[in-house]
Amino acid sequence: GYHLPPPCFFLAPQDVKTRSNLFHGWLRMRDLVLYLLASPTCDSLCFSCDEWRVLLDTAAGFWSPNTSEQETKRGNQRLQVMAAIEKSLQRSSISLKLEAIAPQVTDFKEQNLLQSKPPEATICRRILWEVNELNFRQELISLDRQLDTSHRSSVDRRDVLDACWAGYA
């Protein structure tokens, strides 16, 4: 599984509208995912590509609460994804109302983006860079967990790893 959507995931669809929806869905879920990655008390998400697709489609507004969730494979996946998010948030004071995260405007680095328009190429590149960097960091953290023999706490180890990036130590 992946702690973040794989960057190629945003570029694979041939349809511009589908790619646009994936970017907008990510931007709506971004703060929550970053919170879960940074929180020492919450578990980070770990989803398959299909589960990330379901989450981002849902966040982009492609889910109708009137649809019976159990009737479709996608609906069942959506329920599983939402249950995983709720489980990750159990140790925090945050709750998620999916209906509230599908506004018409998303933002990235203080730039408002309309759902009706695909993000500009420069913004897409910045988003992909950020997702790539975050994926690399998560892979480094996972690798460190597997190989570390120092018996330091996970918080201490994270501080050591954060020192690898200027401005994060």
pLDDT reading at 150 higher than 70: yes
By percentage, how much of the chain surpasses pLDDT 70? 83
**What is the reported pTM?**
0.81
Predicted confidence band of residue 141 (pLDDT cuts 50, 70, 90): confident
Per-residue pLDDT tens over the stretch 39-90:
877 788 889 989 999 999 888 876 655 556 556 888 888 889 888 888 888 8
Domain boundaries, given as residue ranges, for the chain = 8-162
CA dist 93 → 41, 145, 149 (Å): 11, 27, 33
Dihedral, 106, 109, 110, 113 alpha carbons, nearest 10? -30
